A = this chain, B = another copy of it.
């Protein structure tokens, strides 16, 4: 049972062309508390509001927190669709294991998601490329300084109407290959969607930005040779007509877009090699004109073509810096399924029944 307290002070919604990413939040949020004796309890939807925490809460000191990111789409048919929410919830619980956070009940989280979307359905934008970004997150609240898992947590879902993640949209981005700093290592927490993994990328990202690049491509921590991922995206390459992507080595996030892309390609008869890909191999292919396409994939950016790499000072232009044919086809197929204009033969979308709540 979710207790619902409706806001009596609804916000003015931002203009759809000014959404940006993660700037605006809807009128309500979902909350759920945990403590060792009671377990998860007190499920509620409340007006979007500040969180109150003891300054000793473990999240501030020991970073025990995980999150997810998924989207709800408003179709041309006015129906609301979630994309593979069960996959996000399953990944959240895998992250929870790695970070010693108690498991959440998948059904309860899915029900909470749907209910919250229903309550704030008017916030789901309708312009092409827009959607409602959904951010579930858990964090440790126990006010004790001691390096050990918390005995208290809070689980929250907030939602933000969004436009394109990169200002470039579906246009190719320029990527800086980081060969000194690393994001994560095998045996570490790189495959968990935990907050600390992201702050760890800021310094490199700033350096890349100052040099005119949109994002950073990460290499493995042991040898600085093997490609891992790109910013908050997994990465695919088309070399000599064959598609490949770094294998899930343990240090990269198992993207849901990544898995969807692999399945989509398989359905088109295109096999994806999941393997180790060295930056040398990539550059060699690039120099010889055999690197046909490169693109990142993720919930926020969907499919984002990579038009240029810079590794140790050497620039590599990919596909004449134009959006590749495969990237475009995948983008269209995926967004088609998400917005309901292409038939979903995979059982990925979950329609949410929002009834009267609609504008």
Chain B residues with CB below 8 A from A50, complex form: 52-55
Interfacial residues, chain A to chain B (CB-CB below 8 A): 21-23, 25, 29, 48-57, 59-65, 67, 97-100, 133, 135, 137, 139-140, 143-149, 156, 158, 160, 180-189, 194-203, 205-206, 221-224, 231-232
Across the interface, do A48 and B55 meet the contact criterion of CB distance under 8 Å?
A: yes
Lowest 6 CB-CB distances: which A-B pairs, in order? A196-B196, A22-B145, A63-B195, A62-B198, A63-B196, A100-B202
Chain B residues with CB below 8 A from A185, complex form: 182, 185, 188, 221-222
Across the interface, do B145 and A62 meet the contact criterion of CB distance under 8 Å?
A: no
Across the interface, do A206 and B59 meet the contact criterion of CB distance under 8 Å?
A: no
Tell me the number of copies of this protein: 2
In the bound complex, what is the Cα–Cα distance between A60 and B51 (angstroms)?
Answer: 11
Minimal beta-carbon separation of A112 from chain B (angstroms): 14
Across the interface, do A199 and B205 meet the contact criterion of CB distance under 8 Å?
A: no
Query: Can you spell out 5 A-B residue pairs with CB atoms less than 8 angstroms apart?
Result: A21-B145, A49-B55, A56-B158, A60-B195, A97-B203
Knowing A61-B135, A65-B60, A149-B206 are in contact, say whether A188-B184 is a contact too (CB < 8 A). Answer: yes
Choose from B29, B160, B195 the contact partner of A62 (Cβ within 8 Å): B195
In the bound complex, what is the Cα–Cα distance between A197 and B64 (angstroms)?
Answer: 10
Across the interface, do A55 and B158 meet the contact criterion of CB distance under 8 Å?
A: yes
In the bound complex, what is the Cα–Cα distance between A232 and B148 (angstroms)?
Answer: 11
Across the interface, do B202 and A64 meet the contact criterion of CB distance under 8 Å?
A: yes
Chain B residues with CB below 8 A from A203, complex form: 97-100
Minimal beta-carbon separation of A253 from chain B (angstroms): 12
Chain B residues with CB below 8 A from A97, complex form: 203
In the bound complex, what is the Cα–Cα distance between A205 and B60 (angstroms)?
Answer: 19
Chain B residues with CB below 8 A from A186, complex form: 182, 221
